[in-house]
Structure 1
Amino acid sequence: MAAENQHQVPPPPGLIASLAGLAKNCLHLLLSRLELAAIELTEVRDTLLQLSIVFAIAMLAAWFAIAFGTATLIYLCWEAMGWKILALLAGLFAVLAVALVLWGRSLVRQGKLGLSSTMAELKSDRDMLL
């Protein structure tokens, strides 16, 4: 009879133990999602830092190129066109500025700065739970 008692399966855990196990699993899931979000935020931060440094240097170089190029163009065309060269360059730079702003907006709309992996995992978790 003692051998029979040793081979019996222990009784299933009660309601409180099951709820504690569920809470423990939910906590582990939440912690893993927070870790994923932290890793992605670190990557986004590093990318934004690199992007801002490259952008600042590019802007400085572009301003010098624009300034020297414009001064040279005005000097060369002043006798033939007079003040019209200034209006032409102002229009050209305005069109260029609008095009660059639209391009920047399209980059932001592509969602490269979002937390795509984290949001996908959270959505799949929500779908599984509901």
Structure 2
Amino acid sequence: MRLFPRTHQLPARLAAGAYILNSGIDMAGADQDTVAGVHGMAAGTYPFLSKQDPARFVGLLSKAQIAVGAALLVPVVPSFVAGAALTAFAGGLVGLYLRTPGMRREGSLRPSQQGIALAKDFWLLGIGLSLMAEEVLDR
């Protein structure tokens, strides 16, 4: 496993990392309405989350986003590790997109107007899978 990312991986790592880090920082200061909305949407899709305290859930989600964003931005984190973290995180978000009613057009994977904000998670999933695949296939 390479310690430093390949040069051509940097744009994808920087773009995804900055986006996720910013989102995590914003979520760290979420107000009660945002906390309730984020928790409600997540619990509606993943019912086991309904047992979690909403503020604690959003706090942990914020920390996870900050950690994944930092892993992508810090060049000493191997691309496979950063890609695995991004893939796991984006996989959960893609599940949210696929399982939440109203996010997609009827009978389609295409996003509805409400789902456009979540559809970008497919890009994040693709970046994570690409980082991992390149490291595996290079061996």
Comparing both chains, which one has the higher relative contact order based on Cα–Cα distances under 8 Å and sequence gaps of 6 or more? 1
Larger Rg: 1
Per the TM superposition, whether the score is higher than 0.5 is no
TM-score when normalising by structure 1: 0.30
Q: Which has the higher helix share?
A: 1
